[in-house]
Chains A and B, each alone.
Chain A
Amino acid sequence: MTAALERVDTGRPAAPARGRSRARTRHRLTVLAFLAPAITGFVLFFGYPLVATVVFSFTRYDLINPPEFVGLANYLFMLDDPLFLTSIYNTLWLVVVVTISRVVFALGVASVIARLRSGVGLIRTLCYLPSLAPPVAATLVFFLVMRPNGGPLDTALGWFGLQGPLWFSDPDWAKPGLAVILLWVSGDLVIILLAAVLDVPQEQYEAAELDGAGALRRWWHITLPTISPVLLFGVVNSVIVALQLFTQAVVAGSAGSGAADVTGNTRNLGFPDNSTLTFPVWLYTQGFRYFDMGYAAAMATVLFVVSFAATAVLVQRMRRSSHQEEGGSGA
């Protein structure tokens, strides 16, 4: 942030005419005035806490006694903390499964909607609305829909002679259950991909059709490459969604344990058998239930490094495309 601002302040080399340089100073002050709240907010709520998180990560701090420097102890402790490793495994599992399933599912739904002739508006609405539902509500709904022994999904599977899994009561199926919830609320990504699919120039399809390419081949050779920048956005966005998965895991865990009590006790976090103990849930537990702020800050630093890497991929792509845009339109 500061690096970018310094460039604003120093600006270009001084202009010969004094009037022009005064106008330039005024322009700079105008820009600063427009950005003043945002700069203050960025420094207070992102700049400072990012630095402070790293500093806290080298301390032992319980919020009451002053922080005590402990060097790398918090990071070394991670290797001895079995639940830390469990939470890493859970979150990595979710990153891989959620990213792949969410992007593939949303792309599939968008491709179907793009080809519909009637009912597009209705189906688009139905598919988008769940993504606006509060995560707590969506999780409780699916906890009920997917519950074994008489839940609607279980009943529906029964019609086909299938036996559904125990979902949020089974350590092996709780995470897939979370992934299903995230598919139900992936309508925002569907809308984004649908817009991209509809944006593909029609002439390209017509040319390919003349060359005798079937629908599938057209989709593979034209649609997919054209929308690949938006797909990249979908992948990065899904990685971030999965990395910070907290609410659904906490609510599903506490509902599954039968005690939907999320405040004041830790016994139902991660239920069943720590299978829903995601990285942010363990970070929250360490920092704000056990008040081991130093350790939580160390985990936050790890989370920052990983999410920064994911964001950097997207930002890199945006930087390239914004340069192209500027070169093309001259704006």
Chain B
Amino acid sequence: MTETLPAPPAPAGAPQRRSRDARGVLDWVALHSIGLALGLMFALPVLFVLLTAVMGDDEAFTSALWPSEWHWENFALAFEKAPLLKYLGNSLLYSLLATAGMLLSSIPAAYALAKLRWRGRDAVFLLVVGAMMLPPQVVAVPLYDTWSSLGLTGTLWPLIAPYFLFDAFSVFLLRQFVLTIPQSYVDAARVDGCGEFQAMVRIVVPMARPGIAATSLFCFLYTWNDYFGPLLYTGERPDQWTLSLALASFKSLHQVQWNLAMAVTLLIMIPAIVLFAFAQRSFVRGITFTGVKG
């Protein structure tokens, strides 16, 4: 019992230091084991998806974890079973146009919120935060009503169009990035005779490039992953479905097994993995900005 009691604080003697080192090593091993376990916990489901995707039809829903035969043709087969290219085209239309529109509308708004001084700026910024936190279901009824009277339900336009005017999250995130650009650069441009628009295009946009990249990535992935929006507006029109929407009913609609369903699941995750691989720093900086800098 006495041995396990913590040693009283005493002048560091040789034997005590050795026991402290041993404890340090144990701590290190324990900590890194937990870290490794966490990493595996996050990674294993994706590995499982890959392994299931290349299993044979009869093997996919069994307790087998490792495919007995590797059916790489499953990925091609999935394209034969469903009009995946059509869905892919719809997804790209939605994500790319929304991101382009977001850049056009959000950069000036972020500039006005971060680099121009005007009364009520803080209040307007809080409205942006409020809009960002609003569940999309709250405003769905009147918006659907309006788009329906314009005859645009059944298409993706009700989802794309708003990005050309206002996207709360993007304005918020870009504003956080633009704030970090020293005011002196903008002031110097003004002294040199730049108007605000020129100051934005020549000084702020180049300096905020990492922030613009991060915001674009988040916008692209948000729309790529979106399920509620496409379901709301194109649920009854399969030719307008995005990949996210199609994936939800892929298995039963196309009478396929889980191996093909998992192949499509993996395909739909590819943009996230690729974008992250190329722009890890932008992602991490962007996500950090959403929480830390109020």
Which residues of chain A have a CB within 8 Å of any CB of chain B?
1, 3-5, 7-8, 11-12, 27-28, 30-31, 33-35, 37-42, 44-46, 48-50, 52-53, 56, 61, 63, 109, 112-113, 115-119, 122-130, 132-137, 140-142, 144-145, 149-152, 155, 184, 187-189, 191-193, 195-196, 199, 212, 229-230, 233-234, 236-237, 240, 243-244, 246-247, 250-251, 254-255, 258-264, 280, 283-284, 287-288, 293, 296-297, 300-301, 303-304, 307-308, 310-311, 314-315, 317-319, 321-322, 331
Closest 10 CB pairs between A and B? Answer: A41-B166, A41-B165, A150-B63, A192-B291, A52-B142, A244-B135, A49-B139, A132-B272, A34-B112, A38-B109
Contact B124 A307 (CB under 8 A): no
Q: Looking at the complex, which one of A34, A144, A300, A303 makes contact with B109 (CB distance below 8 Å)? A: A34
| A38-B171, A50-B139, A300-B140 known; A155-B129 Cβ under 8 A | no
Majority secondary structure, A binding face? helix
B92 lies within 8 A of chain A by Cβ:
no
The CA-CA distance from A40 to B109 in the complex, in Å, is 12
Residues of chain B in range 113-140 having any CB-CB distance to chain A below 8 Å: 116, 118-120, 122-124, 126-127, 129-131, 133-140
Q: Looking at the complex, which one of A1, A12, A130, A155 makes contact with B45 (CB distance below 8 Å)? A: A130
Residues of B near A126 (CB, < 8 A) are 38-40, 42-43
| A133-B272, A311-B129 known; A42-B249 Cβ under 8 A | no
- Interface 9-residue window, one of B72-80, B208-216, B226-234: B226-234
Closest residue on chain B to residue A199 by CB atoms: B292
Q: Looking at the complex, which one of B137, B165, B280 makes contact with A283 (CB distance below 8 Å)? A: B137
Contact A45 B165 (CB under 8 A): yes
Contact A261 B133 (CB under 8 A): no
| A145-B45, A230-B291 known; A263-B141 Cβ under 8 A | no
Residues of A near B200 (CB, < 8 A) are 34
Contact B118 A28 (CB under 8 A): yes
Contact A304 B134 (CB under 8 A): yes
Residues of chain B in range 265-292 having any CB-CB distance to chain A below 8 Å: 265, 268-269, 272-273, 275-276, 280, 283-284, 287-288, 290-292
Majority secondary structure, B binding face? helix
| A128-B284, A263-B235 known; A37-B119 Cβ under 8 A | no
Contact A46 B131 (CB under 8 A): yes
B191 nearest CB across to chain A (Å):
15
B4 lies within 8 A of chain A by Cβ:
no
B261 lies within 8 A of chain A by Cβ:
yes
The CA-CA distance from A37 to B161 in the complex, in Å, is 12
Given contacts A34-B109, A34-B116, A142-B45, 7 further A-B contacts (CB under 8 A): A11-B119, A49-B146, A123-B39, A136-B247, A303-B135, A311-B134, A315-B130
B26 lies within 8 A of chain A by Cβ:
no
Residues of B near A125 (CB, < 8 A) are 276, 280
Contact B42 A184 (CB under 8 A): yes
B185 lies within 8 A of chain A by Cβ:
no
B94 lies within 8 A of chain A by Cβ:
no
B162 lies within 8 A of chain A by Cβ:
yes
Contact A187 B143 (CB under 8 A): no
Contact A129 B134 (CB under 8 A): no
Residues of B near A117 (CB, < 8 A) are 28, 32
Contact B247 A7 (CB under 8 A): no
The CA-CA distance from A300 to B145 in the complex, in Å, is 14
| A4-B127, A195-B292 known; A48-B142 Cβ under 8 A | yes
| A126-B43, A187-B42 known; A63-B145 Cβ under 8 A | yes
Closest residue on chain B to residue A308 by CB atoms: B130
Closest residue on chain A to residue B284 by CB atoms: A191
